[in-house]
Amino acid sequence: MPEQIHVMERRTRQRAALKEAIEQAARPLTPQEILAEAQDAVPGLGIATVYRNIKALMSEGWLHKVEMPGGVDRYERAGLHHHHHFHCQECDRVFDVEGCPGNVESLAPPGFQVASHEIVLYGRCATCSS
């Protein structure tokens, strides 16, 4: 009687390309951006695979969702230290921003409990400024 071994995750070129694209970017990427990057390595890659793996990588804690105002969700490696984001109004890319003003919770009105916060800077990135 053959043992039934449950394979939870297989190593595929697609998944490797997706993870590689995400790590190389070093900034939050939209599903479309992930697709475009990963297609350099795996030409036929489809958008469904991107979404499937985003969901999988999220649930295994490898990936983290970044929600930006008025835009689609973006994703970056989980486990990065506390940071914020810069949204370029020209190229629509989002970049990580180090540091935090601190003392942000004190802005909340009395009785409001602050669990976390997000700061988003808008403007033009270095590339679009030059």
Chain residues that interact with DNA, rule: CB under 7 A: 2-15, 30-32, 42, 44-49, 51-55, 72-73
- The residue among 24 and 127 lying less far from its own copies, judged by its C-beta, is 127
Interaction partner, residue 9 (DNA, its own copies, none; CB < 5-8 Å by kind): DNA
Phi-psi label, residue 87: left if phi above 0, alpha if psi -120 to 50, beta otherwise: beta
Residues 33-92 that bind its own copies (CB under 8 A): 67-70, 73, 84, 86, 89
Can you tell me the distance from the alpha carbon of 32 to that of 65, in angstroms, rounded to the nearest whole number? Answer: 14
Residue among 23, 40, 60, 105 that touches its own copies (CB under 8 A): 105
Q: Which amino acid is at 125?
A: C
Q: Which stretch binds its own copies (CB under 8 A): 16-24, 30-38, 44-52, 95-103?
A: 95-103
Phi and psi at residue 25, to the nearest 5°: -65, -40
**DSSP SS3 for 26:** coil
